Amino acid sequence: MFRGSNLLRLADYNQAVILDLIRRDPGKSRADLQRNSGLASQTISNITRRLIDAEMVCESAPGDAVRGRPSIPLTVNGDGAFAVGVHVDPARLTILLLDVAGEVRSRQQLRTPQATNPGEMTSLIAVSTGRLIREAGIDRDRVLGLGIAVPGPLDVRTGVVLDPPQLPKWRGVRLRADLHDATGMPVLLDKDVTASATAELRKSADSDSDFLFVYLGSGVGASVVNQGQVLRGVSNNIGEIGDILVDPAAEDLGWSGRRGGLAAACVPEALVIQAAQAGLMPLPDLTDYLTIDDACTTLCELAAAGNAEASVILNRAARRVAVGIGVLVNFLDVPRVVLGGPTWNRLSGAFLPVLEDAVRHELVVSREAFAVVGSAVGEQIAAQGAAELVMDHFLAPRASVLVMD
Query: CA 2 to CA 21: how far, in whole Å?
Result: 9
Is 7 in a helix, a strand, or coil? Answer: coil
Last residue of a domain, one of 76, 104, 132: 76
In a domain, 1, yes or no: no
CA angle 234/240/243 to nearest 5° reads 140
Percent of the chain with pLDDT over 70: 90
Query: Is 309 part of any domain?
Result: yes
From CA 261, how far away is CA 341, in angstroms rounded? Answer: 19
What's the domain count of the chain? 3
Q: Is the dihedral of CA 19, 12, 81, 157 positive or negative?
A: negative
What pLDDT sits at residue 215? 97
CATH code at position 119: 3.30.420.40
Q: Show which of 48, 76, 104 is a domain's final residue.
A: 76
Residue 369 lies in a domain: yes
Residue 404 lies in a domain: no
In a domain, 128, yes or no: yes
CA dihedral in degrees (281, 285, 290, 294; nearest 10)?
0
Q: Which domain holds residue 232?
A: 205-375
- Looking at residue 5, its pLDDT comes to 34
What confidence tens digit (pLDDT) does each residue in 109-160 have? 998 887 678 888 999 999 999 999 999 999 999 999 999 999 999 998 999 9
The CATH number of residue 32's host domain is: 1.10.10.10
194 and 253 in a common domain: no
In a domain, 402, yes or no: no
pTM, to two decimals: 0.90
223 and 352 housed in the same domain? yes
The domain boundary, picked from 76, 101, 120, lies at 76
Which residues, 6+ apart, have CB-to-CB distance to 89 below 8 Å?
Answer: 112, 151, 192, 217, 218, 289, 342, 382
Specify whether 317 is located in the same domain as 295. Answer: yes
Output the pLDDT for position 322. 97
Q: Are 72 and 60 in contact (CB under 8 A)?
A: yes
Q: Are residues 28 and 130 in the same domain?
A: no
How would DSSP label each residue in 144-198? EEEEEEE-S-EETTTTEE---TT-TT-SSB-HHHHHHHHH-S-EEEEEHHHHHHH
Running along the chain, 405 residues long, what does each successive block of 10 average in pLDDT? 40 85 88 90 92 89 61 90 95 95 94 81 94 94 95 92 87 95 95 96 79 95 94 92 87 67 90 95 92 96 97 97 96 95 96 94 88 94 96 79 41
Could you tell me if 182 and 210 lie in one domain?
A: no
Q: Are residues 289 and 370 in the same domain?
A: yes
> Do 313 and 230 sit in the same domain of this protein?
yes
Nearest one of 117, 199, 205, 118 to 160, comparing CA atoms: 118
Are residues 368 and 219 both part of a single domain? yes
Same domain, 134 and 15: no
Are 212 and 182 found together in one domain?
Answer: no
Q: Quick one: 139 and 56 in the same domain?
A: no
| Inside any domain, residue 116 | yes
Q: Are residues 86 and 52 in the same domain?
A: no
pLDDT at 114: 75
What pLDDT is attached to residue 264? 87
In a domain, 403, yes or no: no
